[in-house]
Amino acid sequence: MVLLIDTNVIIDFLCKREPFFKESFEIIKNTAENKYKSYITANSITDIVYLLRKNRPIKEVKEDLSNLVEVLDIVDITRKDIDNVLASNNECDLEDELIYQCAKRIKSNYIITRDKKGFKNVEDISVYTPKDFLKLISESKLT
């Protein structure tokens, strides 16, 4: 099973944002335990650095990211991904569209996000909040 995790879930985890931390922690923990393979996009890394750097020393931000990328894989952004986003008729956030294009390319089964409305036109990949995904996993024993 392959997940592509949206930036907001990673920020919830790294910043221990309540009430979202518990579910984001479970997603990362399950990935570390090889229950599924999880990715983030390369541009999520720069977004994370930008957001965390506002309130943390860069050394701490780098340490957090170093630990994170030991668990999560990074999917690069290609020219074709960007071209697909620019050619898309979807009226959505361009960052969400880019995440979707990357998810399609890596054949992700799920996109995990707290911003499901950003993926409202996605039909070929299941989109779940961390909470709903964890509920699905526990109820159906997906592997």
Q: Tens-of-pLDDT digits for all 143 residues of the chain?
A: 999 999 999 999 999 999 999 999 999 999 999 999 999 999 999 999 999 998 899 999 999 999 999 999 999 999 999 999 899 877 768 889 999 999 999 999 999 999 998 888 888 999 999 999 999 998 875 55
**What pLDDT, on a 0 to 100 scale, did the predictor assign at position 99?**
93
**What pLDDT, on a 0 to 100 scale, did the predictor assign at position 93?**
81
Alpha-carbon gap, residue 105 to 89, rounded angstroms: 18
Cross-strand pairs, 128:
112
**Domain 2-140 architecture:** 3-Layer(aba) Sandwich (3.40)
**What pLDDT, on a 0 to 100 scale, did the predictor assign at position 140?**
79
Whether 58 and 67 have beta carbons less than 8 Å apart is answered as no
Whether 77 and 42 have beta carbons less than 8 Å apart is answered as yes
Phi, psi of 97 (to 5 degrees): -65, -40
**What pLDDT, on a 0 to 100 scale, did the predictor assign at position 61?**
93
**What pLDDT, on a 0 to 100 scale, did the predictor assign at position 88?**
83
CB-side neighbour CA atoms (13 Å) of 38: 28
Alpha-carbon gap, residue 143 to 103, rounded angstroms: 18
Q: In the chain, where are the structural domains located?
A: 2-140
